[in-house]
Amino acid sequence: MGFPATRMRRLRRTATLRGMVRETRLAAEQLVLPLFACPGEGVARAVGSMPGVYQHSVDRLVAAAAEAFAAGVRGVLLFGLPERKDAEGSAAWDDDGIVQRALRALAREMPDLVKIADLCFCEYTDHGHCGVLRPPGNTEVDNDATLANLARQAVSLAKAGADVIAPSDMMDGRVAAVRAALDAAGQSEVPILSYAIKFASGFYGPFREAAESAPSFGDRRAYQMDPANGREAMREAALDVEEGADILMVKPALPYLDLLAGLRRRFDLPLAAYHVSGEYAMLKAAAERGWLDYDRVLMESLVAIRRAGADLIMTYGAVDAARLLAAGWRE
């Protein structure tokens, strides 16, 4: 009877040995926690479709960020629920807007926390789309008019204390417009994390509940990407690099790991991936029914995203994962 010349199982025998030869490592400082800022005081309103996720008033948001930081998470991604909405989303560039207030509070209380501000209008417009619509009766988003407003929002957020600006709107030319506006406003040191590859995905449903940002008509397929297109995704990313993006992001993460790996092969910039609301909610829902071990599948998912090439991972499970890592998590 013959024996295999190479025995792959030799290095898998014990947990310690597996750990010593592990190729991909996950660390808490690679995780970013999305947070939703809402008006009021003492508010922590649960999001029904995302167990463990809340809409927080600024005081409670600071407390949630401090809890995450204590667990080892070093960055947050901020979204805002404004007190008022209009056709342009003008509350987004109000210097006393909800995210601006959250940024100032976080900068005051947690100077070492990395504060990433999402740049978009879906939470701020009364129609729920990511920009200004063309004249009344037209449902198309006006690309160039939206760019001007994105620039105003970016400058306001940077002045309020954002460490990173993250345009997620998917307008053409937005990275160049934001870079020019930041530089002109004396904010040239603020980097841009571009949602370079953002698909028109069905995995965003729970987020729209959390951010109260569902469009009142139609959908966002005219500006977010077709999930079938990979070569187009690479062109999108290349344009953002040319326009001055400092970090590129893929959203959602798990269904598009092929594109994340493609970006890693092609670009030397830091890469991020957004483990989005639907991906998180599926794990939670299955775990609640006893179908999956939440801790295990969360960590497996995050390691897969890292293995594909992500340097940063935005995930609603950031604190859970950080605590598992601190406790010496091993598969």
| Active site amino acids | 198, 251
Alpha-carbon distance of 331 to 322, in angstroms, equals 15
C-alpha to C-alpha distances, 227 to 21, 133, 296, 312, nearest whole angstrom: 35, 24, 28, 22
Nearest in space to 178 (alpha carbons), one of 235, 223, 122, 117: 117
Nearest in space to 301 (alpha carbons), one of 281, 279, 284: 279
Alpha-carbon distance of 139 to 239, in angstroms, equals 26
- Read off φ and ψ for residue 313, nearest 5 degrees: -130, 120
Alpha-carbon distance of 37 to 62, in angstroms, equals 10
Q: What residues contact residue 263 under an 8 Å CB cut-off, 6+ apart?
A: 196, 197, 234, 237, 248, 250, 271, 309
- 158-170: b (≥16 Cβ within 10 Å) or e: bbbbbbbbbbbbb
- 241-278: b (≥16 Cβ within 10 Å) or e: bebbbbbbbbbbbbbbbebbbbbbeebebebbbbbbbb
DSSP state of 89: -
